Structure 1
Amino acid sequence: MVAQRTRHAAIAANLANSETLLNAAGEYEPYKRREVMFAPGDPTSPTRDGRAMGVHVERIHVNEEALRARYDPTSPFADERGIVMVPDISPAIETINSMQAVRAYEANVQAAEVTKQMLAQALRLLA
């Protein structure tokens, strides 16, 4: 669930910054799309079986190539041809990715709920 939550946060950041051209210092540096990379297993699990299950966030990749040219001669960041490099973030693709992350998170919640119910039933049988 943590991995999907992290993925969803990166997607939200991509959407929120899809038109961002300046960095925190106010310098021209278009926002670059973030992609969460998963790896199999849970390295924080105390058991070997637990470490072999699920996924974890391996890294968050910043796509340095994810810029597109936009014609805007009125922009102070335009080159001599009137071209400004802007983030190449598609709201449609990010929205679809967001829906996938939410569905995966919900599936994980449902699986945890079923596991909890199974354990409760087993405890009732033992009591």
Structure 2
Amino acid sequence: MSLASIFNIAGSGMSAQTVRLNTVASNIANAESVSSSVDQTYRARHPLFSTLYQEGTSQGSLFEEQDVAGAGVQVLGVVEDQSELEARYEPNHPAANAEGYVYYPNVNVVEEMADMISASRSFQTNAEIMNTTKQMMQKALTLGQ
């Protein structure tokens, strides 16, 4: 693995964490939105990540343990959380249905805040990895002087 590929790996991690932060922001923004039906109510969204592997890095038989170097992370998509929505009996609410129920999203703001902190720290770690790699490359260039 070259030092240049570290930039690609850290960059893909930063891109993935940006998607994660955007979905968290969307979830928090819609945490108190209401609807009169289950179908129209906002559902929490979560990104799905997958590891990218370098092609052609593993050689050997089926019985040997193979080390495959990672090449980054990719976002497979964003899925909706299928857990139960919260139905509250509020007959005086303007969005209440005929039975007097209002449906609230399945967003847990505390979990979303913890996810936001984790995503921002992961983004920061990837940025630090890029800075450290840049410094190492600069130091390597000055070795011949």
Aligned with 1:14 (options 15, 27, 32): 27
Q: Who is 2:60 aligned against?
A: none
Q: How many angstroms does 1:91 deviate by?
A: 1.0
Over 6 Å off, 4+ runs: none
Letter in 2 for 1:92: V
Unaligned runs of 5+ in 1: 23-27
- Cα separation, 1, equivalents of 2:118 and 2:90: 34
> Does structure 1 residue 39 correspond to structure 2 residue 57?
no
Q: How many angstroms does 1:66 deviate by?
A: 4.9
Letter in 1 for 2:141: L
SS of residue paired to 1:54: strand
Identify which of structures 1 and 2 has the higher relative contact order when contacts are C-alpha pairs closer than 8 Å and 6+ apart. Answer: 2
SS of residue paired to 1:31: coil
Correspondence 1:45-124 to 2 at 5 A: 48=55, 52-124=70-142
Q: How many angstroms does 1:112 deviate by?
A: 0.7
- Cα separation, 2, equivalents of 1:68 and 1:53: 41
SS of residue paired to 1:76: coil
Letter in 1 for 2:49: F
Q: Can you list the C-alpha shifts for 1:30-53, whole angstroms capped at 9, x where unaligned?
A: 1111101100017xxxx747x832
Q: Give the paired residue count.
A: 117
Q: Can you list the C-alpha shifts for 1:38-78, whole angstroms capped at 9, x where unaligned?
A: 00017xxxx747x8322111111122445211221112332
Change (3 A) 1:66 1:115: farther
Unaligned runs of 5+ in 2: 1-13, 58-68
- Cα separation, 2, equivalents of 1:73 and 1:88: 21
Q: How many angstroms does 1:18 deviate by?
A: 1.0
CA contact (8 A) 1:32 1:87 kept: yes
- In terms of Rg, which structure is larger? 2
Superposed CA RMSD:
2.2
